[in-house]
Structure 1
Amino acid sequence: MRIAMIGAGYVGLVSGACFSDFGHHVTCVDTDQGKIDALNNGEIPIHEPGLDALVASNVKQGRLKFVTDVASAVGAAEVVFIAVGTPSRRGDGHADLSYVYAAALEIAKAIKKFTVVVNKSTVPVGSGDEVERIIREENPDAEFAVVSNPEFLREGAAIRDFKHPDRIVIGSSDQRAKDVMAEVYRPLHLNSSPIMYTDRRTAELTKYAANSFLATKVAFINEIADLAEKVGANVQEVARGIGLDNRIGLKFLHAGPGYGGSCFPKDTLALIKTGQDYEAPLRIVETVVAVNDQRKRAMARKVAHAFGGNLRGKSIAILGVTFKPNTDDMRDAPSIPLITALQDMGAEVRVYDPVGMEQAKKVFENVTFCEGPYECARGCHAMVIVTEWEQFRALDLKEMAAIMACPVIIDLRNIYSPDEVTRNGFLYSGVGRPQAVAY
Structure 2
Amino acid sequence: MIDYSVALRGAFFDIAAVADSADDIASHARYLDDGVLFLRDGRIHALLPWQEAEQYLHPLTGYRDLRGKLLLPGFVDAHVHYPQTEMIGAFGEQLLEWLTTYTFPVERQFADADYAAEIARFFVSQLLSHGTTTALVFCTLHPESVDALFSEALRLDMRLLAGKVMMDRHSPEYLSESAEQSYRQTRELIQRWHQRGRLGYAITPRFAPTSTPALLAAVQQLREEFPDTWLHTHLSENLNEIAWVKNLWPEHEHYLDVYHHYQLAGPRSVFAHAIHLADAEWQCLHDTGSAVAFCPTSNLFLGSGLFRLPTCWHHQVRMGIGSDVGAGTTFSMLRTLGEAYKVSQLQSYRLCASEAFYHATLGGARALRLDDYIGNFHPGKEADFVVIDPAVTPLQQLRSERCKDIYEQLFVLMTLGDERNISETWVNGKRVWGNAAEE
Q: TM-score range by the shorter chain?
A: under 0.3
Using structure 2 for the length normalisation, give the TM-score: 0.25
Using structure 1 for the length normalisation, give the TM-score: 0.25
More RCO (CA 8 Å, sep 6+): 2
